[in-house]
Structure 1
Amino acid sequence: MSEETTERGIELEPPKKWKIIGPGLVVAATGVGAADMVSTLVAGSKFGYGLLWALVIGVILKIVLVEGAGRYSLATGKTIFEGWRTLGRWPVWYFGPYIIIWGFIYGASAMASTALPLAALFPGVPQNVFAIGTGLAGCLLVWFNRYSVFEKITAVLVGLMFITIVGLAIIAVPDVPAMLAGLIPRLPTGSVLYTLALAGGVGGTITLAAYGYWLREKGWVKPGWMRVMRIDNTMAYVMTGIFVISMMVVGTEVVAAAGVTIDAGDKGLIDLSEVLNEKYGTFIGKAFLVGFFAAAFSSVLGVWHGVSLMFADFWGNTRGKGSEHKDSQAHGKYFRFYILWLTFPPMLLLLLGKPIGLVLAYGVLGSLFMPFLAITLLPLLNTHRVPKEWRNRWHTNTALVITAVLFIWLGIYQLVTTILKYV
C-alpha cells in the first residue's frame, strides 16, 4: 500500500485496517471527561445495571451524529460551518456567541477538573497551581505541534485511561447476568433524568462537530475515505462505550457495595479514589487517579485543538476569507487566538469563581448545542447540499430526529436546573 501524501499532507490512499487510528479516537477521547465518568458512576451506584441500555443507546446516537458531520465534510469538501451558513443567518448568530462564552467557562472547568487528580496525588501543592499548569501545558502542546503529534499524544492518554478504568472494572468482577438484563429498556423509580443524561450526555458536545475538521487535518478529505471514516468513528465509540460501561461497573460493584454516597460533581471521582484505597489498597487508588487525569487532560487537548479549529473557520468565514485561507486553518492567527482565549482569561475564573451571568449564558447556549447539531444535519444531509449518493437513509433520519428530541428534552431540563440554581 502506498503511504505517499500530497504537498498539503493529504493522504492519497486509505490505510490498511490495522493502521486506522484516526480522528474518531480523538473525538471520542475528547468527549469523555470527568462529568461523563461521574454521571455513569452515580447511575451505577444508584440503579446498578438497570440503565445500561441507555448508555448503549447514547453511544449509538453519538455514532450517528459524528458520522453525519464526517460524511458532510467528505462528501462536499466543505467544513460544517460552511454548511451551516447555507441554512441562513441564524446558525451563525447562534454559534458565534456560543463558542466565545462556552470557551471562556469551559476553559476554567476543564483546567479545574484536570487539576483534581493531580492535587490528590500531590496534596502539598495548591490545586490552582495544577489547574494553571494543565492549561499552559495544553496551550503549548497544541500551539507547537501539528495534528500528527497531537493525535499520538491523545492515543497515549486514551491508552492510560482505557487500561486503568477497564482494568478496574475487571478487578471489581462485574455481574454478567445482571449486565445482560440491564440491556432490556426499563426505568427504575427516580431514574428518568439519569436516563436522559446517560443517553444524551456521554461522549461530548461541541467536539462532535469538530470531527470534520480533524478529518481535514488527518488528510482524509475525499469521498473515497468514507468507509475508512465510518470504521474509524464506529470503533472509537465502541471504545467509548466500553469505557463508560466500565465506570458503571465500578459504580455498581464498588461504590454501591461500599454503601457510600459520592459527590455528584467532579469531586465524586476523588471520593471514589478513597473508596478504592480502602477496598483494594493505595496502588489501585492512585492508579485510578492517573486514569482520571488522562481522561481529563485528553479533553483539554482535544478542545484546545478541535474547538480552536472551529473558531478559526468561523472567524475566517465571517471576515470574508473563507475556510481555505491560512488565517482560517490550524496554526493561523485565529486558531492561536482561540487557544489563548481558552487558556488565559479562564484563569481569572479559577481565582474569582464563576460569575452568575456567565454561568446562565453558558447554560442557555450549551444546553441547546446538541439539538442544534442534530437539527442542522437533517437539511444538510437530505438536500442538494450533498451529492445524492451520500444523503441520509430513512434510518439515519429517524435516529437524528430521536436525537434532536432527546437532546431538546435534556437541554430544557439542564437549562431550567441552571436557572433555578442561580436565580
Structure 2
Amino acid sequence: MPKSLSLRSGLSSVLIWSVISAAFIGPGTVTTCAMAGSRFGLDLLWALTFSTIGTIVLQEAAARITIASGLSLGQVLTTMYGQRARWLTTVLFIAVALGCAAYQAGNLLGALAGLTLLTDWPPQLLTLLLGATCLVLLWRGSTQLIAQFLGLVVFLMGIAFAYVAISASPGAGAFAQSLVIPALPAGSLVLVIGLIGTTIVPYNLFLGSGISQPGLSPVDAIREMRLGISLAVLIGGGISMAILVSGTLVTGEFSFQNVAQTLSNRLGSWAGAFFAFGLFAAGFTSCLTAPLAAAVTARSLLGWSENSWAYKSVWLVVMGIGLTFGLLNVKPVPVIVLAQAANGLLLPLVTVFLLIAVNNRALLPAEYQNRFWQNAILVLIVGVTAFLGLRNLWLALGS
C-alpha cells in the first residue's frame, strides 16, 4: 500500500527537486526576463506560463522513465536503438557539455555582476572566491546536499524578486490576461524563444533524471517526484515572472547596472540591492548546477561512475572554463540572450525523443506510460516550439 506523504517528506522532496529550478534560474533567466519586461511590458508573460507548464511535463516524463525502467536516459537510448545509439549518445554528450561550459561562463559572470553591484571588492578576487566555494561543494559529491542548499538559496532569491515585482504594482487584470493570452509584438520573437529556452532546458532532463531518493518503491518515488517537481518548478516559474514584472520598470539601454539604478531610483536603494542579490543568487546556484548537469549527463550517456576521475574531470573542465571567462571579465549579456534562443530551437527534438520513449511498451509497464492528455500536452509543446523556431529561422533567412 503506497505510503501517505507527510509534510516533512513533501518539503524534503521540494528541496531535492529545487535543483531543477535553481538550474534554469540563472543570469540568462534574469537577463531575458528583465529585458522582455523592459521592452514589451507584460506582453510576453504568457511565454513563461507555457514554459513553466512545459517544464513540469517534460521533467516529470524524463524522471518517470528513469524511475519506472531503472535506466538512465542514455541507457534508454541504447535500449531503444541498440548500437546505433552509441554515436548519438557521444554527440549528445559533447553538445550538452559544450552548452554547460558556455552557460557556466555566463553563470559566473552573472554572479560576479551581482556581487560587484553590492561590494567594491576586486572582480578577480570575487571570481576566485566564487570558484573555490563551488569547487568545495561539488567535490563533496552529494547531489542531495547540493539540491537542498540550492533550494534554500532559490527561496531567498524568490523573496527578493517577488518583493520588487509587488512594488512595481502591475494591474491585476492586465497581469492575469497576459498570463494566458499569447501575443507576439514586432521584434519579440527572439525573446519569446529565449523565455521558453531559458526555462525548458534540455540538459536539465538529464540532471533531473539523475536525481533520486533511495529506499522508495517506484510508486512512492514517482508520487514524491511529481510533488517535488511540480512545486519546485512552479516556484521557479513564479520567480521568472517576478523578474519580468520587475523589468517593466526599466527604461533605456539594458544592462545590469541600469536595471539596479532604475529600480533604486523608482523604489528606493533597497530595490537595487535586492536585484543585485537576486542576480548573484541566480548566478551562484547555476554555477553549481551547470557543471553538475554536465557530469550527470556523462554518467547517463557514457556510463561513467560518479566516483571516477572521468566523471569529476567533466565538471572540473566546465568550472575551469567558467573561471577563465570570469577572470577575463567578458561581458555576458548578448551571448546569454542568443544562447537562450538557440536552446529554444533544440526543444522540439528533445520533446520528440521523450514522447517516443514514454510511450514505448517494451520499455515501460502500461501503468507508467503516458495517458492521452499527457501525450496531448507533449504534442502541443512540440508544435509550439517547432513553430516558433521555424518561424524565427524563416525570418532570419528572409532578411
Q: What TM-score, normalized to structure 1?
A: 0.80
Alpha carbons of structure 1 residues 209 and 417: separation in structure 2 relative to 1, 3 Å: farther
Aligned Cα root-mean-square deviation (Å): 3.1
Bigger mean CA deviation after superposition, 59-68 or 408-417: 408-417
1:1-400 equivalent positions in 2, closer than 5 A? 15-20=5-10, 21-22=12-13, 23-88=16-81, 89=85, 91-126=88-123, 128-190=124-186, 191-215=188-212, 222-252=218-248, 254-255=249-250, 260-263=251-254, 268-316=255-303, 328-329=305-306, 331-350=307-326, 351=328, 366=343, 369-383=346-360, 384-400=362-378
Alpha carbons of structure 1 residues 417 and 372: separation in structure 2 relative to 1, 3 Å: same
Bigger helix share:
2
Q: Which runs of 5+ in 1 are unaligned?
A: 1-11, 317-326
Alpha carbons of structure 1 residues 378 and 184: separation in structure 2 relative to 1, 3 Å: closer
Deviation per residue, 1:306-364 (Å, 9 max, x gap): 33122133333xxxxxxxxxx523x432321112111124444443969xxx99xx899
Deviation per residue, 1:262-297 (Å, 9 max, x gap): 42xxxx333211112222332331122112111211
- Structure 2 Cα separation of the partners of residues 183 and 345 of structure 1: 37
Alpha carbons of structure 1 residues 237 and 262: separation in structure 2 relative to 1, 3 Å: farther
Letter in structure 2 aligned against 1:271: N
Alpha carbons of structure 1 residues 223 and 63: separation in structure 2 relative to 1, 3 Å: same
Corresponding residue SS for 1:328: coil
Letter in structure 2 aligned against 1:148: Q
Deviation per residue, 1:199-236 (Å, 9 max, x gap): 443253312331111125x6656233212211111111
Deviation per residue, 1:347-403 (Å, 9 max, x gap): 44443969xxx99xx899856543332111122111121111111122222222232
Whether the 8 Å CA contact 1:76–1:386 is kept in 2: the answer is yes
Deviation per residue, 1:145-189 (Å, 9 max, x gap): 523321231122112201101111122222111112223424253
- Structure 2 Cα separation of the partners of residues 412 and 138 of structure 1: 38
Whether the 8 Å CA contact 2:66–2:209 is kept in 1: the answer is yes
Percent identical: 23
Alpha carbons of structure 1 residues 17 and 376: separation in structure 2 relative to 1, 3 Å: farther
- Structure 1 Cα separation of the partners of residues 256 and 346 of structure 2: 26
Q: Which runs of 5+ in 2 are unaligned?
A: none
Corresponding residue SS for 2:19: helix
Whether the 8 Å CA contact 1:364–1:415 is kept in 2: the answer is no
Q: What TM-score, normalized to structure 2?
A: 0.85
Corresponding residue SS for 1:109: helix
Q: Shift of residue 75 of structure 1? A: 0.8
Whether the 8 Å CA contact 1:312–1:332 is kept in 2: the answer is no
Q: Shift of residue 56 of structure 1? A: 0.9
Whether the 8 Å CA contact 2:19–2:289 is kept in 1: the answer is yes
Deviation per residue, 1:234-281 (Å, 9 max, x gap): 1112112211111122122x22xxxx2242xxxx33321111222233
Q: Bigger relative contact order, structure 1 or 2, given CA contacts below 8 A and separation 6+?
A: 2
Paired residues in the alignment total 382
